[in-house]
Chains A and B, each alone.
Chain A
Amino acid sequence: MKESLRQSMAWLHTWSGLLVGWVLFMVFSCGTASYFRDEITLWMKPELHQSSHAVVEQGVAAAQIQNLLQQRAPASPRWFITMPTGREPAVRASWAPPPSGEEGQPRGRRRFENASIDPLTGQELSAARATRGGDFFYRMHFDMHYMPVLWARWIVGICAMFMLVAIISGIVTHKRIFKDFFTFRPGKGQRSWLDAHNATAVLALPYHLMITYTGLVTLMFMYLPQGLGAVYKDSDAFFADLNGGPRVEAKASGLSAPLTPLAPLVAKGSQLWDGASVGRIMVSHAGDSAATVTLTQQDGHGVSNNLPSLTFDGVTGGLLTEADKSGAAVETRGVMYGLHIGRFASPLLRGLFFLSGLAGCAMVATGVLLWAVKERPKHVKANANGRIGFGLRLVDGLNLGGIAGLLIAMSVYFWANRLLPPGLGGRPDLEIHCFFTAWGIAAVAALAFPQRWMWRIQLAVAGVLFALLLPLNPLTGGAGLFTSVAQGLWPVAGFDLVSLLIGCGLLWASRGLGSAAKAPLKARLAKVAA
């Protein structure tokens, strides 16, 4: 009985993992890259590599941006200000355009304008090239591309649920979790792939479980809206409760009154939060007598994504409301959401999350490869001429196109960012088209020739493209490694070094496939002959 439970779970593990493995590899890769979303965006805007990195007091930064917004957007109904952090030294602001008077105009059509300033000098930073930057990977990992967002989220959610089933059934299947942790037998064909799969899975098992479950948590009210529907009449009321009480949404009075200085409010907020700094400021109807200012705490003072906020009167500066304390379940969700996006994490912890994410990519990749490796001997035995069946051929092609092809696409995205002319219209979309064109070509080649030599070629192409991002950076206007290290531009230096490491790793893998090719082939031929 016990043995048959293990067998049925092994079967479930194999199929729930294989069927969605290629989507999961994309989700894991793009999601892992998203931990360094801001750093990737900075690297992709070489015009900003020279900006100062002085840490400025929050009040000064708030005053500088208020100055700019009062000149540039006095009639805007809403300002959004993002305060500087260690990862993003500039103060960023965006604002809604003033209402044009035509009420019928759809809301989504109105373009927000934005600006970034150096918080020390108040100078507006030179406009950087237009790019989606790291946000593309972030969106891709749950919204995909070229398809309605709703479909993508359902597809990713279903795949994530398969993943959760695969992880739990994989644990049940396992006999010796602790022992496998230390077991790696290289160069032994199928056994090595199994060891690699076990090692990457077990090494970061708590992370894999956490990231899969919390990923589902981020969109759970879409996947399972039944509880919400049973208790609440409309979902807006629920989300207002979930996000901490009704928002102050006062209408403009039409009477003008000067906006209170933001700097003292920032100081007051920080004081009320025991020294935690302000992350975002929203100003509604600046210059109107009904103006309000809402401060939201900066990430990094707790794991939870339910960030505290304070609302002030925009004229007198008096405290209006404070979001009420959330209950246990709401706080649990906040912590899980926070764990998934990892914005609370210090650089070291973020690095560990990144490594765990890479282990997740490796776990998925070795899992789907292991299936093909296990399946091959059956086909070789069945057909003396070495032909393999359609299913295995398809899996081989998808493995190659889904793993190596995606790596090529990611590196091509960075190359496109630097090689397309900076002033080109529709540039962000073109970069993304380059990503998918490269992936498409790689996938077609992979499905046409799902063989070892194609693996070698694609891994080598991805390896070269990743490794050469380091010299490409200074050649196309960015800060080279020596400059970035000397100036303490760690996000840029880190991007260059991580890309170099990934590139070298892929080249090494491509080389390894070449030297390993001869031995197993001989062994296989001997077996077939015997």
Chain B
Amino acid sequence: MGPLNGVTIAIVLFGIGLLGLILRRDLVVKLLALGLVNSAVILCLVALGARPDGAPPILAPPSVDAIVDPLPHAIVLSAIVINFAILALALVFVMLLVERYHTTDANRIDRASNDEEDEWS
């Protein structure tokens, strides 16, 4: 029953994040939603390796046999750093856009930049 609870919560969070990404217009909120989506996948990975009576993956004497699966933890480490990098750079870009267009509304920025480039005319 262990992984099921964790994964269910993770997928529900993933869904909430997706909804936030689609339905909210503010760019900063979109980035938060993206962060939620990424964190949900991380939760899912960690929950998958869990065991009901699991011990942390350290080879200290009493609990060597019941350690949880250590590979998802190693995977998650990389995933966390990658998500951090994406969030930091995306925030910098949002700041540059806000300075230029004076709004955080994705639709307005889209229209303004299309008008600038005069593409679909």
Do A and B originate from a single complex?
A: no
Q: Which residues of A contact B (CB under 8 A)?
A: none
